Chain A
Amino acid sequence: MKMTCAQNEQWLNIKKILIGNSLLPDNKVDSMWNKNNSLMLSLICTKIVILLLIAMAISLPFLRGTSFFSGSILLREDSLQFVMTLIYLAWIPAMIAMICLHRLLTNIRQEHAFTEKTSKLLRIISWACFIVGIIMFIGTTSSAAFFLLGVIACFVGLILRVVKNVIDYGREIKDENDFTI
């Protein structure tokens, strides 16, 4: 929309008045998205997932008889016990990964985003993903779906390793920045 100089100025004045009366959101301050809100969202989601994991661990045996497990085309009927064992086995590295993720987010919140601790936590999470992947691969004897899950888990583990590498390079840059007076 092309406006003349005078119209532009009028529009700017109107905007100033509206912002002054809080009728028009000031982009920098009132925006819904900023990195703090995003961090809090990540933190809340992580806590929810941790609670869900614990709830799953407790309630899984009770789902034995229900339609959650039976009649599914993915499972052979006799391998239910095997699959349950695998799920519980994979629960351990998953829980470790989630707790490390929670610690990671808390660190970032305290402005320790590019430290050695962060690097170490990312390494642990990626190894947990790989272990879950291996456990899933063991489960392919029961159902082909586990192969896919294993592949996905290994992929996520690889991505996290790459993120860790990027963070390491970021640390170097931060160091140089910190020591620039």
Chain B
Amino acid sequence: MKIKINLDIMMAKRQISAGDLSERIGITPANLSILKNNKAKAIRFSTLESICRELNCQPGDILEFIDETEEK
């Protein structure tokens, strides 16, 4: 996936567990794990808003664009 989700890092920083976070956001733990494992194809703005509110961060802290075609 070209957009990487860095939820684990943010969750560790704020010390929130997965079950706790999923309850606070309002999504099922299954959906949260889909998100964490980069299997999600799209995210709703409402969900992103909830995540940023609960983790007290910006969307850029969670979403990262990885350009796979770039030769380093």
Contacts and interface: CB of A to CB of B under 8 A. Distances in A.
Contacts of A179: 34, 39-42
Interface string B8-50: 0000000000000000000100011011000111111001000
**Majority secondary structure of chain A interface residues (helix, strand, loop or mixed):** mixed
Nearest to B30: A181
Interface string A156-179: 000000000000000000011001
Contacts of A181: 27, 31-32, 34-35, 40, 42-44, 47
Nearest to B32: A181
Interface residues of B, number: 12
A181 B37 CA distance: 12
A180 interface: yes
A181 B48 CA distance: 9
A119 to B, nearest CB: 21
Nearest to B43: A181
Nearest to B27: A181
Interface of A: 175-176, 179-181
Given A179-B41, A180-B41, A180-B43, 9 more contacts: A176-B42, A180-B44, A181-B31, A181-B34, A181-B35, A181-B40, A181-B42, A181-B43, A181-B47
Interface of B: 27, 31-32, 34-35, 39-44, 47
5 contacts: A179-B41, A180-B40, A180-B41, A181-B35, A181-B40
Shortest beta-carbon contacts, A-B, top 5: A179-B41, A180-B42, A181-B40, A181-B31, A181-B35
